[in-house]
Copies of this chain bind each other. A is one copy, B any other.
Amino acid sequence: MEDDFAQWYTDVVKKADLVDYSSVRGSMIIRPYGYAIWENIQSVLDRRIKETGHENVYMPLLIPQSLLQKEKDHIEGFAPEVALVTHGGSEELAEPLVVRPTSEVLFGEHYANIIHSYRDLPKLYNQWANVVRWEKTTRPFLRSLEFLWQEGHTCHATEEEAAEETRKMLEVYAEVVENYLAVPVLKGQKTEKEKFAGAKFTLTIESLMHDGKALQSGTSHHLGTGFAEAFGIQFTDKDGKLQTVNQTSWGITTRLIGALIMVHGDNRGLVVPPRIAPKQVMIVPIAQHKEGVLDKAYELKDQLSKVARVDIDASDKMPGWKFNEYEMKGIPVRLEIGPKDIEKGQVVLARRDTSEKIIVPINELETKIPALLEEIQNNLFEKAKKHREEKTSIAYNMDEFKTNLVENPGFIKAMWCGSEACENFIKEETAATSRCMPFEQEHLADKCVCCGEEAKHLVYWAKAY
């Protein structure tokens, strides 16, 4: 993976049975193992979305082109990458339909229909859906023609309430990504240049991959009243006055699976954090033809299924093949049990994260396994955090900036004057972009790393996926 990270990634997603390709350019088949990881992410996040008062809805896939054009900035952002349906039922359509790249405009139209009074607010909707963006170069999970996501869309009586919602949902994302995917995130605000087309401001969680590139892992947008004005989403306030709502939108995608792969993976393949792993423990019987081995292995499977997601491979393949296979798939713990283990009343547990092997008495497994899974979860997070810290450097001028990017690619912390010209210059010179202005601002210097003018913000920069 050190030589050619891109190739390593492509190999792992295929060999770990996460995806397969089809004759559809740039789209992926998400295979059972990949989809089970997505279902686990969905389940954790959906619970939080509901607990914070949101309701799920479902909007149409196809959007009339004219509707997409209602908000100027929005269409400018998405027009170059839409797929157009021009024929339906063998006939040419009077107006082409856009396959949704995102659903702001449909929510806008719907909200205008159903919101009338301050009593109707806030409206807190979310949808789980597929979206299509016509990307030229694609990679499974990271950038594909079609991907799966959730998109939250909310309406509020005031700008401040919408700002509160924008922050709240970013915190929900941060919590899920850190505590379940074991991926540390940097929370901050996007610059004007990098914010969502049509938004007032965009908050983001950014994570750092093994190769030192950043991945935007979730965004939350304060839309202000822009869409609401374009769509006429108005309400009568308590004083009988007509007001325009403030809106937010926020989303995470199947991209998170890409983050998980690129943060935790190693030369033996995938490493899946236990809390999100479809299978947490894989039992591999040793010398399974010997009397009693398979019986005991199945007995352990039943017993341990009470405390973890356990599977067994009792196929006639060699143990060595099985070891490789489940290491490639990143299953957190392998449990080996053979005739000698049974004699001694013990098993061997092999940790995927550290390769460590531990001998554990069978009667301690029910407490030892959940504890070990938690330990692995924490270790993966701490390891990723340490990696990020090692790959985060400071630059006071452009020479340092460029040197750091070459010698220790990762996040570069540098002060910025606030001008788009400097962002553009840095991007052209180094291919790094501003990832965010972190919530935790530091005053590293008085001057912009690029132009030397007065610095306004600390910015994290990086090359990014």
A363 contacts chain B at the CB level, 8 A cutoff: no
- Residues of chain B contacted by A110 (CB below 8 angstroms): 20, 22, 29
Interface residue stretch chosen among A85-93, A259-267, A320-328, A416-424: A85-93
Protomer copies? 2
Docked complex Cα distance between A79 and B90 (Å): 8
In the complex, the answer to whether A109 meets B22 with C-beta atoms within 8 Å is: yes
A302 smallest CB distance to B (angstroms): 16
Per-residue CB contact flags for chain A residues 72-86 toward chain B (1 = under 8 Å, else 0) read: 000000011111111
Contacts A30-B58, A31-B57, A57-B30: A85 and B88 contacting too (C-beta < 8 A)? no
How big is chain A's contact interface, by range?
35 or more
In the complex, the answer to whether A114 meets B20 with C-beta atoms within 8 Å is: yes
Docked complex Cα distance between A61 and B83 (Å): 12
In the complex, the answer to whether B24 meets A63 with C-beta atoms within 8 Å is: yes
B55, B59, B85: the one contacting A22 at CB < 8 Å is B59
B24, B67, B106, B134: the one contacting A29 at CB < 8 Å is B106
Most buried by B among A28, A59, A125: A59
- Residues of chain B contacted by A134 (CB below 8 angstroms): 88-89
Interface residue stretch chosen among A32-40, A172-180, A436-444, A445-453: A32-40
A10 contacts chain B at the CB level, 8 A cutoff: no
A97 contacts chain B at the CB level, 8 A cutoff: yes
Q: Please report whether the interface of chain A is mostly helix, strand, loop or mixed according to DSSP.
A: mixed
Smallest CB-CB separation from A119: which chain B residue? B315
In the complex, the answer to whether B60 meets A22 with C-beta atoms within 8 Å is: yes
A136 contacts chain B at the CB level, 8 A cutoff: yes
A181 contacts chain B at the CB level, 8 A cutoff: no
Docked complex Cα distance between A125 and B113 (Å): 40
- Residues of chain B contacted by A348 (CB below 8 angstroms): none
Docked complex Cα distance between A82 and B89 (Å): 5
In the complex, the answer to whether A60 meets B20 with C-beta atoms within 8 Å is: no
Most buried by B among A28, A62, A82: A62
- Residues of chain B contacted by A69 (CB below 8 angstroms): none
- Residues of chain B contacted by A223 (CB below 8 angstroms): none
Most buried by B among A32, A63, A67, A315: A32
- Residues of chain B contacted by A228 (CB below 8 angstroms): none
A1-48 interface (Cβ within 8 A of B):
20, 22-24, 27-32, 35-36, 38-39
In the complex, the answer to whether A145 meets B82 with C-beta atoms within 8 Å is: no
In the complex, the answer to whether B56 meets A36 with C-beta atoms within 8 Å is: yes
A171 contacts chain B at the CB level, 8 A cutoff: no
A239-276 interface (Cβ within 8 A of B):
none
Smallest CB-CB separation from A31: which chain B residue? B57
Smallest CB-CB separation from A132: which chain B residue? B61
Contacts A23-B64, A88-B134: A148 and B35 contacting too (C-beta < 8 A)? no
A366 contacts chain B at the CB level, 8 A cutoff: no
- Residues of chain B contacted by A20 (CB below 8 angstroms): 110, 113-114
Q: Which A residues form the contact surface with B (CB < 8 A)?
A: 20, 22-24, 27-32, 35-36, 38-39, 55-64, 67, 79-90, 96-97, 99, 106, 109-110, 113-114, 119, 125, 129-130, 132, 134-136, 145-146, 148, 315
Q: List 25 A-B contacts (CB under 8 A).
A: A20-B110, A24-B62, A24-B97, A27-B60, A27-B61, A28-B60, A32-B56, A35-B55, A35-B57, A38-B58, A39-B56, A58-B148, A60-B146, A61-B130, A61-B146, A80-B89, A82-B88, A83-B88, A84-B87, A85-B86, A88-B145, A89-B134, A89-B135, A129-B130, A130-B130
